[in-house]
């Protein structure tokens, strides 16, 4: 799988751990995130990941900031992007099953690194259920 990842200054350690896990599982990873805790602007990284997903250069995206909200808001401005803010694996499951989310947004200040890894694994290994959910997903875009 091709996966794009981006993070602001709240998530370098999260990104590092997630990228290690993804590469160990044989995924191709494009890294747009910062490796520093120096303040940066999260939209820069959200847009890079969302562009890859929107243009089908990546199968999925992972974005990380302090709350997970701002970076998800920026990513969701892109056509064909459905970024879901997740803080536990059950939310990640439903984001895929019911919403066909293609980017997971992780709140680094409210989850642990092991939780984040578990959410990413769950997100990538859960299929969209389609059916009654497809009609709803079709109504998301403006």
- Report the pLDDT value the prediction gives residue 141, as an integer from 0 to 100: 87
Whether 9 is catalytic is: no
Q: Which one of the listed residues 65, 78, 86, 133 is annotated catalytic? A: 65
| pTM of structure | 0.97
- 10-residue stretch averages of pLDDT, the chain, 142 residues long: 98 98 98 97 98 98 98 97 98 98 98 98 97 95 85
pLDDT at position 11, please?
98
Residue 66 CA to residue 129 CA, distance in Å, equals 30
141: closest CA among 63, 84, 77, 57? 77
67-101 exposure pattern, b = at least 16 Cβ within 10 A, e = fewer = bbebbbebbbebeebbbbbbbebebbbebbebbbb
Q: Catalytic residue, from 9, 47, 86, 98: name it.
A: 98
Verify whether residue 78 is a known catalytic residue. no
Helices in the chain by DSSP H: which ranges? Answer: 12-24, 42-54, 69-75, 89-99, 113-124, 132-138
């Amino acid at each position: 799988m091709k996966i794009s990842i981006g993070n602001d200054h709240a998530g370098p350690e999260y990104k590092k751990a997630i990228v290690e896990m993804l590469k160990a599982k044989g995924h191709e990873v494009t890294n747009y995130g910062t490796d520093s805790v120096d303040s940066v602007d999260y939209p820069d990284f959200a847009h890079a990941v969302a562009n890859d997903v929107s243009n089908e250069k990546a199968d999925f995206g992972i974005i990380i900031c302090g709350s997970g909200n701002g970076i998800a808001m920026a990513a969701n401005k892109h056509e064909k992007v459905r970024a879901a803010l997740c803080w536990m694996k059950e939310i990640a499951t439903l984001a895929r099953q019911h919403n066909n989310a293609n980017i997971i947004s992780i709140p680094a200040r409210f989850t642990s690194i092991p939780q984040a890894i578990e959410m990413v694994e769950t997100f990538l290994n859960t299929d969209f259920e389609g059916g009654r959910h497809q009609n709803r997903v079709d109504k998301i875009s403006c």
